[in-house]
Structure 1
């Protein structure tokens, strides 16, 4: 069950500062987030199970655990296998499991593959097609999380997340990432 909008905003304010620090010192909220990351990364858990399940479900694609502790979530991506004959436009499907709230999201990023990868498009609401459907189902079952509805994800959050600042910061940024198109 997705927590209420008020609860999600409270969670965002717990882990992200509501004021910008002119000295750029880590905020008390940043210390809380780093402590939570240390705990989450120290224990094997459902995230590892999910990555294994994605590897099995999408053996023809490359699965990447792209998690960084600068965000509020575990990240994974389903990349198309690259080869000279597979150049052109391709979607990368991304799953995010928040570590600060019991929610997840699945979205996609379009890149043009050739000599190098070029960002083309971000779709935070991918269509109900494969591999997004299977990724969402596995995230729900392995992680015991609920899908964050787009209307709640797009709600403004009065916090500073990465380079996002109010009024442009949304709950998506606070619960998942401020750079959804910045994939390795």
Structure 2
């Protein structure tokens, strides 16, 4: 079950600062997030199982664990296999499992593949196509998380997250990432 917007805002304020620090020092909120990451990275668990399930389910694609500790979520992506015959425009499907709230999201980023990869489009709505549908089902069953609905994900959050600041910061930024199109 997805927590209320009020509860999610309370969680966001616990792990992200509500004021900008001109000295750019680690805030108490960011320190809490850093400490939570230390705990999450030390314990093996459902995330590793999910990555293996995705690799088994989609052997024809590249599945990557693209988690970084600058965000509040584990990240994974399903990439199209790159071959000279598969150049052109393709979607990369991304799954994020929040470490601060019992929610996840699935979205997609479109790139043009050729000599180099060029960003084309970001679609933050959970797509109802494969492999996104299977990714979502596996995230729910393996990690016991609930899909964060787009209307709640887009709700403003009064916190500073990465390159986002109020009033542009959303719960998506605070619970998952403020860099959704920055994929390795």
Bin for the TM-score computed over the shorter chain: over 0.9
Q: Structure 1 CA distance, aligned partners of 2:5 and 2:44?
A: 30
Could you tell me which runs of 5 or more consecutive residues in structure 2 were left unpaired when the two chains were aligned: none
The aligned residue for residue 109 of structure 2 is: 109
TM-score, with length taken from structure 1:
0.99
Verify the 8 A CA contact 2:108 2:123 in the aligned structure 1: yes
1:107-146 to structure 2, matched below 5 A, reads 107-146=107-146
Q: Structure 2 CA distance, aligned partners of 1:126 and 1:48?
A: 22
Query: Runs of 4+ in structure 1 displaced over 6 angstroms?
Result: none
Q: Structure 1 CA distance, aligned partners of 2:124 and 2:25?
A: 31
Q: Structure 1 CA distance, aligned partners of 2:126 and 2:115?
A: 26
- How many residues align structurally? 184
Verify the 8 A CA contact 2:106 2:127 in the aligned structure 1: no
After superposition, the C-alpha distances for 1:98-134 in whole angstroms (9 at most, x for unaligned) are 0000000000000000000000000001431100000
The aligned residue for residue 54 of structure 1 is: 54
Q: CA RMSD in A?
A: 0.5
Could you tell me which runs of 5 or more consecutive residues in structure 1 were left unpaired when the two chains were aligned: none
Are 1:148 and 2:148 counterparts? Answer: yes
1:67-78 to structure 2, matched below 5 A, reads 67-78=67-78
Q: What is the Cα deviation at residue 56 of structure 1?
A: 0.5
Q: Structure 1 CA distance, aligned partners of 2:87 and 2:36?
A: 40
TM-score, with length taken from structure 2:
0.99
Q: Structure 2 CA distance, aligned partners of 1:28 and 1:115?
A: 44
Counterpart secondary structure, 1:166: coil
